[in-house]
Structure 1
């Protein structure tokens, strides 16, 4: 069985639908939940790929010591070009671990259902090439990538965030947005993030309702994306 290491920095952001899509594509998920005290391995021995999810921690918080081994693991994955998908907080940790930097968003949080736009480089990318030009996503971040690592390629952006998705090497991806959520997860985030909801210009119910309405389109677009990423992991396992 092809094994994917799944690092869950917070149980508020579980693999959810993305985990289901990856499992359906033939990957065995080895989940490590930091909230439960699970150990983050020192390397990817015994695993063929890596998924790092999001959480309420800030990549800028030096007190979040549980994130240090996650950065180390991401640095190793990038150095070895192991198929990796790092989402939201994960994407920020990936940037930090490989020579980039992050910052608090100067214009305030980006929260709720939104669209991102594929950049030209995505047209030839093995997992992004099949996406529509402006796919639906869920945004939920107070921080962002300020400077990308050397050699990183931007794959998606939107008017409020210049780096919505990027690639390092051939197989390492950072997504600032979320594709894994359920309507219930998004509603819970809204209920616990009054600052983010206020920044959206909508009220709590509107943010939750719009997120719920976007989920069918998110699944239609990003479930096939997950299958293409799983194919990269399987190819790496067979190499």
Structure 2
């Protein structure tokens, strides 16, 4: 399902450092920013999309423009550890703070949620229960989340593509917890700060199952070290099944073996949160006062 989007301007903030960006491209053929640009072109044909890379030392963030020139900012996933004081982290956090201050609505997944949390005064830590790899299971909306438009169309409990080693520890003041599960307390949240609004999720509604398989392969050693598999061969076996389901999403036998339903196998349902964000932007404008 697409939305009427002609005239909209979107900014994709790809915070993957250059090495990670190229590793992802070598693995699945696209960076996190490439994925978001493809998804936005699908969901909002006619919208103009630009990309910046705030983690890069030589990044010319907006080439003379301002964040206020855009209708929305989208923050991608990234391996940045937001609890570390590195130049890459400082640049990414500065961009998110400027986004809040500009009043430009923003949406982010995985590290995007963590970035907004830190920029607004919350904290991030390594996952307390270890990596959540492949899929986040039984994500459940809070009372607030059940009535929040970002999760409109999601069932009471659902799974989603996910792979992360860090998580939100404490949400900032002005945030609303929208969903969580047993592995990660904060799976979805709205954050309001300095006149701006952010909607975000810890999981990855934007990625395809081929990208899930690629992420498992890239992190195979870590998954073994954390006890999620006994060998990299087991990780590869799981990745093969997920890749096969990507190519043939109608195969119920593969979905059954992986314990997945249409919330993951149906590409349109996977995109629910991003589509809902764009629709809310169109209906309510930059304030996103619902």
Instruction: State the partner residue of 1:161.
Output: 184
Q: Do the aligned partners of 1:117 and 1:158 also contact (CA within 8 Å) in 2?
A: yes
Separation (CA, whole Å) in 2 of partners of 1:19 and 1:45: 19
Equivalents in 2 of 1:223, 1:110: separation in Å? 20
Which runs of no fewer than 5 residues in structure 1 stay unpaired? none
Distance 1:53 1:194 in 2: 22
**Larger relative strand fraction:** 1
- Conserved in 1, the CA contact under 8 Å of 2:10 and 2:72? yes
Q: Distance in 2 between matches of 1:210 and 1:81?
A: 43
How far did residue 101 of structure 1 move? 0.6
| Structure 1 residues 50-88: Cα deviation after superposition (integer angstroms, max 9, x where no partner) | 11111222212323x123232122223334543211211
Helix, strand or coil at the partner of 1:107: coil
Pairs within 5 Å for 1:222-237: 222-234=270-282, 235-236=284-285
Matches within 5 A, 1:71-110: 71-110=93-132
Unaligned regions of 5+ residues in structure 2, if any? 1-6, 25-30, 246-259
Structure whose CA Rg is larger: 2
SS at match of 2:50: strand
Aligned residue pairs: how many? 238
Name the residue aligned to 1:146. Answer: 169
Residue of structure 1 in register with 2:235 after alignment: 204
Give the equivalent residue in structure 2 for 1:32: 52
| Residues 16 and 132 (structure 1), Cα distance of their counterparts in 2 relative to 1, 3 Å cut | farther
Q: Distance in 2 between matches of 1:142 and 1:82?
A: 28
Match for 1:7 among 7, 10, 13? 13
The answer to whether the aligner puts 1:177 opposite 2:203 as a matched pair is: yes
- How far residue 210 of structure 1 moved from its aligned partner, in angstroms, is 5.8
Say if 1:183 and 1:168 are closer, same or farther in 2 by CA, change over 3 A.
same
For the residues of structure 1 that align with 2:287 and 2:203, how far apart are their CA atoms?
A: 30
Shift of residue 7, structure 1, vs aligned partner: 0.8
When residues 118 and 211 of structure 1 are mapped into structure 2, their CA distance, relative to the original with a 3 A threshold, is farther
Contact 2:10–2:74, Cα closer than 8 Å, also in 1: yes
Q: Which has the higher contact order (CA 8 A, sep 6+)?
A: 1
Deviation, 1:121, is: 0.9
Aligned counterparts of 2:94 and 2:57: Cα–Cα separation in 1? 20
- Tell me whether 1:22 sits opposite 2:40 in the alignment: yes
Q: Deviations over 1:159-180 (max 9, x none)?
A: 1110011101384112111112
TM-score (ref. length: structure 2): 0.71
What TM-score do you get using the length of structure 1 for normalisation? 0.85
Q: Does 1:68 align with 2:87?
A: no
- Deviation of residue 208 (structure 1)? 1.9
Say whether the 8 Å CA contact 1:7–1:40 is kept in structure 2: no
Distance 1:111 1:225, change over 3 A: same
Q: CA deviation at 1:40?
A: 2.6
CA contact 2:13–2:33 (8 Å) conserved in 1: no
Cα-Cα RMSD: 2.8
